[in-house]
Amino acid sequence: MNERKKRNIIMGSLCAVLLLMVVGYAAFSTALNINGTSSISSNWDIKITSITEGTKTGAATTTVDESGNKKISGVGTLTASVEADLVSPGDSIEYDITVTNAGSLNAKLEKITLSESNNPAIKFETSGLTEGDTLTANGGTATLKLKITYDSNVTTQPENTKGTISVTLDYVQADGNGTVTPSEPITTDDLIASAVTTGDGLYADEYEEGRYVYKGANPNNYITFNNETWRILSVENDGTLKIMKKDSIGNMAFDSSNSNNWARPAPLNTYLNNDYYNSLNSDAQNLIQAHTWGVGPVTYNNTDLAGQIASENGTTWSGNIGLMTLSEYLRANTNPSLCGNYSLNETNYSTCKTTNYIVPTTEYLWTISPNADYSNYVFYVYSYGRVRTNLASNRDTGVVPAVYLKSNINLEGEGTESNPYTIVS
> Whole-angstrom Cα distance, residue 267 to residue 251?
13
pLDDT, position 159: 55
Residues of the chain short of pLDDT 50, as ranges, are 1-2, 4-41, 160-163, 178-181
pLDDT, position 208: 97
pLDDT, position 164: 54
pLDDT, position 162: 44
pLDDT, position 54: 87
> Whole-angstrom Cα distance, residue 394 to residue 396?
6
Distances (CA, A) of 248 to 222, 377, 399: 15, 20, 5
DSSP secondary structure letter of residue 180: B
pLDDT, position 358: 97
pLDDT, position 184: 67
CB 140 within 8 A of CB 79: no
> Alpha helices of 23-61 — where are they, by DSSP H?
none
What is the pTM for the complete model shown?
A: 0.61
> Whole-angstrom Cα distance, residue 119 to residue 116?
9
Dihedral, 83, 86, 89, 91 alpha carbons, nearest 10: -90
> Alpha helices of 248-364 — where are they, by DSSP H?
267-271, 277-279, 282-287, 305-314, 326-331, 336-339, 342-347, 349-352
pLDDT, position 171: 73
pLDDT, position 131: 79
Domain ranges of the chain: 25-173, 188-423
Distances (CA, A) of 317 to 263, 311, 372: 6, 14, 17
pLDDT, position 189: 93
pLDDT, position 106: 83
265 cis-preceded (ω within 30 degrees of 0):
yes
> Whole-angstrom Cα distance, residue 421 to residue 423?
7
